[in-house]
Chain A
Amino acid sequence: GAVVSQHPSRVICKSGTSVKIECRSLDFQATTMFWYRQFPKQSLMLMATSNEGSKATYEQGVEKDKFLINHASLTLSTLTVTSAHPEDSSFYICSAFTSMADTQYFGPGTRLTVL
């Protein structure tokens, strides 16, 4: 199946710093990528939808100035958590949509811990 990678897989940072997470579709082009967040013992929550070359669409309650999303190419989207705080500690997962299969494929996730 289609492969989606994320980097880094795990990051620990100090409060107030910014962290960038990359999401790449390795063997297909993705016109749309999605970013999710998952807290312990909870399900995935959609944060934003990202279309190549246009601004991301954020879900209600997600601060667009705090979670910056860039989707500059058909194979790469980045999520930057700005001025991270301990409450931003979570598991961040991206997915990439391929129209050939009409399916979203997910990355392995990035574990963010803010001290």
Chain B
Amino acid sequence: DAKTTQPTSMDCAEGRAANLPCNHSTISGNEYVYWYRQIHSQGPQYIIHGLKNNETNEMASLIITEDRKSSTLILPHATLRDTAVYYCIVSGETSGSRLTFGEGTQLTVNP
């Protein structure tokens, strides 16, 4: 699986958009980009995933560059409850693919 690079930490003001970047320059053509988050002492929560098109759901938007070497997770209106560690993971498309967690980005939403 391709390796990802994320900033260690980010801050965001409550109510503003949070933009979390991720580099995955070695991604291959059949690998998806997944985003999960983990609030302290809880299991990871699925946010969104995509292959090459931009995706949006009720939680967030995922913007993937045309060359697929990087992506950005956008939380449009961050709240205090969005404070968590966000993981960007690249994984194969085959069913049941393993997820390899890196260190993620600690997002802190400030009042």
Residues of A within 8 A of B (CB): 1, 4, 6, 31-32, 34, 36, 43-46, 49, 51, 91, 93, 95, 97, 99, 102-109, 111
Contacts and interface: CB of A to CB of B under 8 A. Distances in A.
| Secondary structure dominating the interface of B | loop
Interface of B: 32, 34, 36, 38, 41-46, 49, 87, 93, 95-96, 98-104
B50 to A, nearest CB: 11
A95 B104 CA distance: 18
Contacts of B34: 103
Given A31-B95, A51-B96, A93 B43 contact: yes
B87 to A, nearest CB: 8
Contacts of A91: 41
- Specify which of B32, B96, B102, B104 lies most central, judged by the most chain A CB atoms within 10 Å of its CB: B96
A71 B96 CA distance: 14
A46 to B, nearest CB: 6
